[in-house]
Amino acid sequence: MPRIIRLQAWACRSPIAEPVSTSFGTMRDRPAVFLRIEDDAGGFGWGEVFANWPAAGAEHRVNLMADDIAGLVLGQPADDPAALFHKLAAQTHIRALQCGEFGPFRQVLAGIDQALWDLVARRGDMPVHRALGAAPVATVPAYASGIHIDAAERVIPQARADGFTGFKVKVGFDRDRDPARVREIVSGLAPGETLYLDANQAWSASEAAGFLDRIADLPIGWMEEPIRADLPPEDWQSLTGRVPLAGGENLAGFDEFTAATDLGVLDFYQPDIAKWGGFTGCLDVARRALDAGRVYCPHFLGGGIGLAASGHLLAAAGGPGLLEVDVNPNPLRDGFGAVADRIVDGHWQVGAGPGIGVDDLPRDIRACVTHMREARA
């Protein structure tokens, strides 16, 4: 039985000319953490760890992997990612509770789970979605994401030229002006195109209700995170019946997703493969959502490894969901291949090669490394 003998993690940062703004903050560079696992049979796999927030988070997660988590991973069997995910989640719970850092611990475990599934799929000479039990899938539907409402007039035509037919615009900056601007964007869409909205938890329940009332007559694909993910169920229930609701990137753990499914207000479920769960957790959530008659759409806004992994995750889950593809400039994504080269008629080409489809960090990515750690058995 192959056992894990090496973990490596790289924190990367790439400068960008134009900051990426949300309703709660601004990214002034593009960070990422890429993680590699190796076993004693020569197998290896890659994963990505969420690192967008806080601003100093990438380097911290690399150290967390090396100093707090690697000792629990080295020497473990490399052939059962799901079993190791559940074991590590239990083993790290008290550590995360002690320091109040559940997010970073969960994010590192998510990257480890991705890397192990990549390793297993490579050993079987199959793409990850096949290793997860799916039939071969060539493409999955995708939409262009990360579009600031002030930049929509410029960015949507560019995304359309790249082959996208769905566009997600960030709102929550000006509650009085945004509804009129949303109407303008909708009026400029071509037949067959769809607009999605994301407020990034910007509003109170009453503020969100007022916004939704003003756009309820528009054909909006969904309204994502209009309020905080941790607000009471009745606040979420007060927003139903206007525009389909989406959320999940800021839920973590099977219990939180089960509670959301039981509440029944979300039409679209969006766990993030790099924030919690990796393939093991997110695929379970996706299947539960589909069984409940909902739609699974993976959330992701990061580097090229997590994006490729998200495509395989959606391919494994099936259903009518869409892959989120951030179209803001990001060398840590495009260094693995230009987005435009992977989009055909609004669909992302998943890839038929072994694993996730990443063999090594490209030279341009390695030039952005700010911190690297490794641990060996």
Cβ contacts of 1 within 8 Å, gap of 6 or more? 77, 78, 79
Nearest 5°: the CA angle 77, 123, 355 is 105
Rounded alpha-carbon distances, angstroms, from residue 98 to 36, 92, 95, 102: 27, 10, 5, 9
Q: Where are the domains of the chain?
A: 4-126+366-376, 130-349
| Cα 374 from chain centre | 25
Residue-wise pLDDT for 157-187, tens only, equals 999 999 999 999 999 999 899 999 999 999 9
What is the domain class of 130-349 according to CATH? Answer: alpha beta
The per-residue pLDDT for 187 is: 97
Determine how many CB atoms are found less than 10 A away from the CB of residue 93.
12
Start-to-end CA distance of the chain, whole Å, equals 16
| Cα 280 from chain centre | 14
The per-residue pLDDT for 24 is: 86
Superfamily name and number for 4-126+366-376: Enolase-like, N-terminal domain (3.30.390.10)
Show the low-confidence residues of the chain (pLDDT under 70): none
Rounded (to 5) percent helix, strand, coil in the chain: 40, 25, 35
Sequence-ordered strand ranges (E) for the chain: 4-21, 26-39, 44-49, 139-148, 166-170, 194-198, 220-224, 245-247, 268-269, 295-296, 323-326, 343-344, 347-349, 369-376
Of 142, 196, 205, which is closest to residue 170 (Cα–Cα)?
196
Strands 268-269 vs 245-247: parallel, antiparallel or unpaired = parallel
